[in-house]
Structure 1
Amino acid sequence: MSTPSRPTADVSVRVGWADDAEAIAAVQVKAWRREYVGLLPDEVLASLDPADFAEAWRASIGSPKDARNRVLVALERNTVRGFAVTGPAQDPDCDPVSDGEVVELTVDPDHTRAGHGSRLLQAAAETLKADRFARAVFWLASTDDARRAFVTGAGWDTDGAHRELDLHGDGSVRVKQVRLHTDLSDV
């Protein structure tokens, strides 16, 4: 007697296509509007337009500045639920030949806790390893305890590096960040 199969979600991660630009931009704007409340003025958040971001995404995907720059998308059926960006690490203390970076990892805030972030983080690490990086780094806000717990739960650890970003360029909005890293040989 066979056991009836249970339905499974149709979820995956793949390399982003130029046709994904609008969907990636929509996820980015939605996430930023929640993530940056209190950091950016309300009028700035309200003025974010996915169409403005979509053109930049289309260019980034279609003509990356480095062949190792990648955009990955998390899908639920055919709908983009999140994205990750990988490439060579740009920090002065990193080696751009052996150190890769997860530049961004964003999940639609209405679809968190569904595994999209975990799949993206794993795919990002595998992509960096396939691009022959030995180590990966990932910057995040020092106050983002949930994201830090998520990333360290996946085996990453802080490496002692920290920085402060000046979001407006005038010193009015500063974000402190910490860097996490992982050895890609175990991926």
Structure 2
Amino acid sequence: MVTADVSVRLAWADDAPAIAALQLAVWRESYTDVLGTQLDELAPSDLTERWAATVNAPRDARQRVLVALERATLRGFAIVHPCFDDDADQIQDGEIGEFVVALEHRGHGHGSRLLQACADTLRADRFTRAVWWLRSTDDATRTFATTAGWAPDGAHRELAAPTGATVKQVRLHTRLV
């Protein structure tokens, strides 16, 4: 029997260039309508230093970057941390701050493994609830999340982009205990 060599682990600083390249590729697919030509001006190297700092010196001890791998190739990443929403309990509420799987590798199990690792990591840091803000028009990710046991909690927000466009988001939540 042949098994796939896939895994999820904590990110290393050496992962920063691959994380930055994947983030930019997915942003170009998903946020061109919001960020416009600003995306054309960005290069992965512009984001690499920020990711290396996030991995090496997180702003909170409970902030973690996780990477989904196929062999040694990065297929996705996520960042988890305490939830900083106004209505959150920063001791009990954790958040998935970003969740990205390469578009061409969706449906291969990387997202499911990564989402489970996010929940396990938040649980290990003693969070009892997790939240995840999703773009209101991202039906595929919302379906993926609700199938995994996440549900809307009624919260919503609008974020203003530097281009003047807005992004509407809905918040999902799940219990971790």
Aligned length: 177
Q: TM-score, normalised by structure 1?
A: 0.92
Match for residue 18 of structure 1 among 13, 37, 46: 13
Pairing of 1:141-152 with structure 2 (within 5 A): 141-152=135-146
Q: Which residue of 1 aligns with 2:24?
A: 29
Query: Which of the residues 92, 96, 102 maps onto 2:86?
Result: 92
Unaligned runs of 5+ in 2: none
Q: Which runs of 5+ in 1 are unaligned?
A: none
TM-score under structure 2 normalisation? 0.98
Residue 166 of structure 2 corresponds to 174
Please tell me whether residue 62 in structure 1 is matched to residue 37 in structure 2: no
For 1:140, the equivalent position in structure 2 comes to 134
1: distance between equivalents of 2:39 and 2:62?
A: 31
Q: In 2, Cα distance between the equivalents of 1:45 and 1:22?
A: 17
Distance 1:15 1:184 in 2: 19
User: Per-residue CA shift, 1:1-51, capped at 9, x if unaligned?
Assistant: xxxx2x12110000000010001011101110101122221x222222100
Q: 2:147 aligns with which of 153, 157, 160?
A: 153
Once residues 74 and 47 of structure 1 are traced to their aligned partners in structure 2, the CA distance between those partners, rounded to angstroms, is 27
Distance in 2 (alpha carbons) for counterparts of 1:91 and 1:161? 10
The question of 1:120 aligning with 2:114 is answered yes
Letter of the structure 2 residue corresponding to residue 119 of structure 1: R
Q: Over the residues paired in the alignment, what is the CA RMSD in angstroms?
A: 0.9
From 31, 36, 40, the equivalent of 2:35 is 40
1:163 aligned partner: 157
**1:164, 1:80 → 2: CA distance?**
31
Q: Indicate the larger mover: 43-52 or 28-37.
A: 43-52
The Cα shift of 1:108 comes to 1.2
Over 6 Å off, 4+ runs: none
**Is 1:184 equivalent to 2:155 in the alignment?**
no
Q: Which amino acid aligns with 2:166?
A: R
